[in-house]
Amino acid sequence: MGTKICKENLQQIIKSVPMLSASASRLLQLTSNSDHQLLDVVNLVKTDANLTARVLKIVNSAAFGLINEITSIDRAISYLGERIVISIAIGDCAGKLFEKELSGYEAAGGDLWKHDLRTAIAAREIVVQTELEVSPDLAFTAGLLHDIGKSLISDYLQGTVPEAIELISSQDSLDYLEAEEKIIGVDHTLAGFELAQAWQLPEELAEVILYHHQPGNASEEFRLLVYAVHLGDNIAMLGGFGTGSDSMQYRLDPKYTDYITLSPKTLANVMLTVDMEFEKLEESLNNLGRETT
Amino acid sequence: MGQVILGVGDYGASKTPGDEVKTFALGSCVSVILLDPKTRTVGMAHIALPDSSINKVKAAEKPGYFADTAIPALLHEMTKFGCHKKGKGMVVKLCGGANVMDTNDTFQIGKRNALAIKKILWAYGMGAVAEDLGKNFSRTVSISVESGQVMLSSPGRPNWQL
Ligand SMILES: [Fe+2]
Ligand SMILES: [Fe+2]
């Protein structure tokens, strides 16, 4: 039996989790704006000495196998790309949330981060390979953040896995989201949305967090982005990287076809790219969430 | 007790009693299990996609990733354990190939994987004696080399045997 979460509890939980640093928060604001330049990102990162050091450390880590050390932050950022810089910035402040063991979903520590990273890569690939009118890097960031609510409610879901699975197989609940709501009163999209408010995330990211399982409910201006993450999420789960008990216990919104044209062959290509990119990125970002020394 | 852990696109075999051949969290991927009673060898491939034509480079590097390259690669691997090169006498089991709920045709990757695998096995004159395919949950599979027993698990469900 899970413990019910009421509105006040949820605010309590949010108060206890890490806040975004000022630079991470400004980075998310900046990069969700479609007419920003990479130079703006560089200038912003330069204002944060810790972040600058982390970016340089990662670009020079063994994962990238560079022969010559990169010492300038400008070069490091143009080499890594915006999405990796954002991953580092988010990971630096909120790594604990992503690395947390989700015992309420029977998922190990790090599973959420892997699922989010794969969703991010897949959402970006969907945008690129189907030529959607969405920023590929924004789709990536949105994918990274979409399930953050799970780490807020997981503790309250402890011991509820068989009950949730049963609710869905008996069709009392439509999907795992409804089961969460039935058992503890709050689902992971709503919990994540509350955190998005506390973190003052840009509206489009907050909508992705709230509607990634019901993309049709997103406001029209952000719907394409939400659909891209919705598909990315499903691709991550099908690829064997869910977060434990809720994997594939959600519904694909077949209306995505009104927005995205995806052939089985393109989907296969996206899945293959996710596997290949994931290996590279996971290695380079593997110290996310660990204390920086 | 040793474990042979196979990731996505891996294949492998063992005939060491006490060993366990294992793969975690199959989603739409399909695990092909080959049991050879004659040599008491257990082989498995963790297949992600049906057709290698989409990326020949990847197929050369990781043949276990695609149905059409994985099965020949696994059979070849098993010849090192004294098994018949065309799988004569082997027992075949299949599991995985899951879907999300309300899937459409495009997202039936699991189904396409299973179909491609069955077609290739058929060409070798092989067919599965047991299968646990489809539905909407992830499966972790482990096979005991000693007994040949295939066990499946998924969060929130009691373990079951295939
Ligand atoms: Fe979700
Ligand atoms: Fe997700």
ipTM of the complex: 0.94
| Beta carbons of A118 and A235 less than 8 angstroms apart | yes
Let me know: does B13 contact B81? Beta carbons within 8 Å. Answer: yes
Flag whether pLDDT at A224 surpasses 70. yes
> Which one, of A11, A1, A265, lies nearest residue A152 by Cα?
A11
Burial (CB count within 10 angstroms: exposed 0-12, middle 13-18, buried 19+), residue B18 = exposed
% of chain A with per-residue pLDDT over 90: 82
pTM confidence score: 0.94
Question: Length of chain B, please?
Answer: 162
pLDDT in the model for residue A281:
86
> Is A240 in contact with B110 (Cβ distance < 8 A)?
no
Chain A: which residues have CB within 8 Å of chain B?
105-106, 161-162, 164-165, 175, 234, 237-242, 244-245, 247-254, 257, 262-265, 267-269, 271-272, 275-276
pLDDT score at A284: 77
- Say whether B27 and A237 touch across the interface (CB within 8 A): yes
Q: Which domain holds residue B34?
A: 3-161
AA identity, residue B110: G
Closest CA to B110 of B129, B132, B87: B132
Between A218 and A94, the higher pLDDT residue: A218
Ligand nearest to the CA of A192: 1
Residues of chain B with pLDDT under 50: none
Residue pLDDT, tens place only, A99-109: 999 999 999 99
B83: nearest Cα among B40, B33, B138, B20: B40
Q: Is the pLDDT of residue A78 over 60?
A: yes
Task: Yes or no: say if A42 and A81 are a contact pair by the CB < 8 Å rule.
Answer: no
Q: Which two tokens stand for residue A145?
A: 């953040």
Q: Quick check: A290 pLDDT over 70?
A: no
pLDDT at residue A53 tops 60: yes
CA B133 vs CA A116, B71, B93, B94, B152: distances in Å: 26, 18, 10, 7, 12
Return the percentage of chain A with pLDDT > 70, whole number.
97
The H or E element spanning position B113 is helix B109-123
Which residues of B are known catalytic residues? 29
**pLDDT average, residue stretch A26-50:** 92
Q: What is the mean pLDDT of chain A?
A: 92
Does the pLDDT at position A186 exceed 90?
yes
CB A63 within 8 A of CB A80: no
Q: Which residues of A touch B58 (CB under 8 A)?
A: 272, 276
CATH superfamily of A7-17+100-285: Hypothetical protein af1432 (1.10.3210.10)
pLDDT score of A156 = 94
What total number of domains does chain B contain?
1
List the CATH number of the domain containing B68. Answer: 3.30.1330.200
- Determine the Cα–Cα distance for residues A108 and A165; give it in Å rounded to an integer: 18
Between the CA of A109 and the centroid of ligand 2 the distance, in Å, is 15
* DSSP assignment of chain A: -PPP--HHHHHHHHHHSPPPPHHHHHHHHHHHSTT--HHHHHHHHHT-HHHHHHHHHHHTSGGG--SS----HHHHHHHH-HHHHHHHHHHHHHHHHHHS-BGGGTB-TTHHHHHHHHHHHHHHHHHHHTT-SS-HHHHHHHHHHTTTHHHHHGGGGTT-HHHHHHHHHTTSSSSHHHHHHHHHS--HHHHHHHHHHHTT--HHHHHHHHHTT-GGGS-GGGHHHHHHHHHHHHHHHHTT---STTTT-SB--GGGGGT----HHHHHHHHHHHHHHHHHHHHHTTTTTSPP-
Above 60 in pLDDT, residue A237? yes
**pLDDT average, residue stretch A253-258:** 96
CB contact under 8 A, A276 and B58: yes
What distance in angstroms lies between residue B137's CA and the mean position of ligand 2's atoms? 14
Cβ <8 Å between A161 and B51: no
Q: Which two tokens stand for residue A239?
A: 């690829």
Element (H, E) at B158: strand B157-161
Among A129, A170, A121, A153, which residue's Cα sits nearest to residue A284?
Answer: A121
